[in-house]
Every structure is written in structure tokens, then in C-alpha cells.
A and B are shown apart, each in its own frame.
Chain A
């Protein structure tokens, strides 16, 4: 049986066809831009809400930027793999990177400083990840850091 979502225009319940797409990317800033464009295209094609699409793009952008900026290289062929699944309760994302083991789900920024003069810019990404994602989990399988999360309803 297919999962369902409420149709705002009527009392009908229409089925959500679960769909999955996966793509691999290199480990560079231009590839982060490519991931974003691909996610935007997939979410648009699936008719995801503006919020779900924004949240998906934000969470993956932060995970990818974190892997590139802070991840310790494992091989010359380090890469990222993004899987996006359309579910009845939103969009499920799986983000893999082949950098050295690092758990981003266990790190969140401390509170912002009281004034801009004393603020140390940075560390916002993981705070945003925790706020915009639900069901955030991390594992390392010997090859990949694997982060799973869900964003909004689509």
C-alpha cells in the first residue's frame, strides 16, 4: 500500500509515490554548487514545498561544506554521494563522504556572542543542520561517513 498525504484542495487522500535518486560528486566547492542545483531540480520535479526544498538544500550544503573545509582527506579520490528519497512524511536525505571519520551530529555551536564585536564568525553550519533536519543520525562504515536526516513535509 502506498503512503498518503492530505490534498489541501479537497478531502481526498492521494498517494505519494516514493522515489529515490542518487548521485556522486567530487570534493570541491564547485561540486557543492552542483549538488545544490541537482537537489533543486529533483525537489522541483517532485513538487516539494518551498520549505522542504530549502531545508534539503541547506542541510546538504552544510554537510558538504563541512566535509570539504574540515574533513581530513582519506584518499586522492575522496568524494560525496547524495541520495534523496521522497517519503510521505517529507524528504529523506542520505549524505556520504569518504573523508576521515567525523560525526557532525555530535557538534553544535555554542550560543552567539552578546555583541558583534565579540562574535567569532563561524560554526553556524552545524547549528543550522540540527535546526532544519529531523531524525539526524550518523554512522561510519569503514569507508563512508553516513548522515541520514529528514526535512519537512513535501
Chain B
């Protein structure tokens, strides 16, 4: 699992994840994702490159979303694959971890 953190705009960070969000991948993102989530900025997690996700990976996303939410920020998932999307929806998290499919949707969600 690779994690790349960049600025999205003045108020938001983009976290790009690439690889498997399994027990090993979750361990690699735990600290950097928690740090970004605590930065009091919106967080957009680019999921395009995540080809597998298990519950331990979901847990870290939810923990980060809770942290961002406590600071009244927004936490978005950008374009997960259909199977990863199915996992997130099956877990009942589509409201808590909103999925956006385009840059325009990201901007609208951040402004909304």
C-alpha cells in the first residue's frame, strides 16, 4: 500500500491510496491518515488505485472520518472501484463515507 498526501486546496488535503487496503495496508496508512485527519482540513481520499479492501481498512477510514467530522470538516472518498464501493455500501457506510465520482462532484461537496 502506498499513501501520497498532497494539498487539494487551501482548506483540503488529498490522500491518494494505491494497493490493497488489507491488514498490511491498513497498518501502513493508520498513522499518516490519522495525522491528516487531525489537521483540521477537509480530506479527499483518492480510492481509484485501491483494488482490495477489508474491514480493517474500513475501520481506519471511519476513524479518520470521525476525526474530520469533529472539526466540522468533510471527508470524501473519490471514485472507488465497483467492488470496493460494494464493500463500503454493504457495510452501511455510504452516508458516513460519501463517495464522489468526479472532480466537479468533489468541489461541489466541499462547498456544499
Q: Is the CB of A112 within 8 A of B92?
A: yes
Interface string of A53-70 (1 = CB under 8 A from B): 010011001100100000
- Contact residues of B between 53 and 112, Cβ < 8 Å to A: 54-56, 58-59, 62-63, 65-66, 69-70, 75, 83, 87, 90-93, 95-97
Confirm or deny: A127 has a beta carbon within 8 angstroms of a beta carbon on chain B.
Answer: yes
Task: Give Cα A119 to B65, complex, Å.
Answer: 10
Give chain A's interface secondary structure class. Answer: helix
Task: Give Cα A117 to B93, complex, Å.
Answer: 12
The listed residue with most A CB atoms (<10 A of its CB), out of B23, B87, B92, is B23
Chain B hits for A123, CB < 8 A: 55
Confirm or deny: B31 has a beta carbon within 8 angstroms of a beta carbon on chain A.
Answer: no
Q: Is the CB of B62 within 8 A of A121?
A: yes
Confirm or deny: A29 has a beta carbon within 8 angstroms of a beta carbon on chain B.
Answer: yes
Task: Give Cα A128 to B90, complex, Å.
Answer: 7
Task: Give Cα A24 to B12, complex, Å.
Answer: 45
Taking Cβ atoms with an 8 Å cutoff, the residues of B that contact A are 20, 22-24, 27, 52, 54-56, 58-59, 62-63, 65-66, 69-70, 75, 83, 87, 90-93, 95-97
